[in-house]
Chains A and B, each alone.
Chain A
């Protein structure tokens, strides 16, 4: 009996020893992993506000520790302090900012963009304004040619409910409506006004332009629809003018910028 007990105890001790031999290095390794991201790494922190274009001097920053997991190679390490002293910063800095290499980004490109904008700004603005005026004139011209809007429909029902048209799915602003995007919904007639589009008028909606975005289930109303070929609502007018201005500005910007760079050679 005693020999059996001795064998059990011996076996137990061997088991404990084996687990300990495995666990100690594993635990140590795990702790190293946890600690790894938190090992301090020295970075440079600005001690006062620095204006764009100001040269950095040694008294404008100090060394400070941060956990290494937060200090990518985007940040200037303390070891590179000598490199940045005397260098002008391209971006304004605030006291307490950790110094990153981005603060010294090459300004040549930004200067070229700024110069280009300054050169073409007026022409682009004028092109946009002309497009706006033209779009407005076209809109006014169309208004004169248009017949009077059709009389709004009034809902009638003898059953207490009216079948109206709703958006069957989300529909973006400016979309031309198709039957697949629309659905019918029966609602109490007390909730229906003359603005709501009844299901019996569904055919009139197909091909109309939606002036506002709708979410699935939103009821269609005559006020948010317009004729795509001859817009006559004020919102349609605004959208047309905005579109014309943006297109004109984009065209003018592209042409003017290319011409400017062509004329100046290397910016």
Chain B
């Protein structure tokens, strides 16, 4: 004849044991399942390392060391227009001409050097400063939303 105390104790032992075993099994299965999901997502997109904006960058900013980062992106996004990590030194300290979001790949055409000769960068900087300080001078578009709004409103570049 079992006492009520032994029955209660047995229930507690069963509860703890069952929870522990189930927790371990569930944890293992969850880990495997999530990793499998992650692997499936990644392998369906071959990845390539490129140089990206480390943070949101405004047009006109000069890229310091902390402005650039490397990131793996789908190969489908990468053409010769995109800067790869081994060529990152070429764009360091260059003046950006377009707005970028953190993580956006850097393209060679995004920089002032795309239309200003390197030996004239000082002249370009002086002209930019003068234009920025002119009250009616053309202003830089600060975000993609600005560009979209202008195009949508019918004002073409």
Contact = CB atoms under 8 A, between A and B. Distances in A.
Interface of A: 1-16, 18-20, 23, 26-27, 30-31, 34-35, 37-38, 45, 64, 66-67, 69-70, 72-74, 80, 83-84, 87-98, 100-102, 104-110, 112-114, 116-117, 120-121, 124, 246, 249-250, 253-254, 256-258, 260-261, 265-267
Contacts of A258: 130, 133
A85 to B, nearest CB: 10
Contact of A27 (B15, B17, B33): B33
Contact of A97 (B26, B34, B79, B136): B79
Nearest to B101: A72
A98 B55 CA distance: 20
B77 A98 contact: yes
Contacts, number: 245
Contact of B13 (A11, A45, A87, A101): A11
Interface string B83-100: 000000000000001111
Interface residues of B, number: 81
A266 B136 CA distance: 6
A80 B149 CA distance: 11
B134 to A, nearest CB: 5
B147 A106 contact: yes
Contact of B140 (A4, A109, A254): A109
Given A27-B34, A64-B76, A109 B131 contact: yes
Contacts of A13: 14, 18
B11 A105 contact: no
12 contacts: A2-B2, A11-B12, A11-B17, A20-B26, A30-B30, A72-B101, A104-B151, A113-B116, A257-B123, A257-B126, A257-B129, A267-B137
B113 to A, nearest CB: 12
Given A70-B103, A109-B131, A100 B74 contact: no
A210 B19 CA distance: 73
B14 A7 contact: yes
Contact of B8 (A7, A98, A104): A7
Interface in B121-157: 122-131, 133-134, 136-141, 144-145, 147-148, 150-152, 156-157
Name which of A34, A90, A105 has the most chain B CB atoms within 10 A of its CB: A105
Interface string B1-39: 010001111111111111111110011011001100110
A114 B129 CA distance: 13
B128 A113 contact: yes
Nearest to A37: B41
Most chain A Cβ neighbours within 10 Å, of B133, B136, B137: B137
Contact of B37 (A31, A90, A108): A31
Given A5-B10, A11-B11, A108-B138, A117 B123 contact: yes
A37 B12 CA distance: 43
A261 B101 contact: no
A107 B139 CA distance: 10
Contact of A94 (B29, B79, B110, B151): B79
B130 A102 contact: no
A124 B104 CA distance: 36
Among B6, B7, B156, B157, residue most surrounded by chain A Cβ atoms (within 10 Å): B157
Contacts of A88: 156-157
Contacts of B16: 11, 15
B121 to A, nearest CB: 10
A120 B76 contact: no
A83 B18 contact: no
Contact of B10 (A8, A114, A260): A8
A15 B141 contact: no
B79 to A, nearest CB: 4
B63 to A, nearest CB: 15
Contacts of B131: 109, 112-113, 116, 257, 261, 267
Interface centre among B37, B77, B99, B103 (most CB of A within 10 A): B77
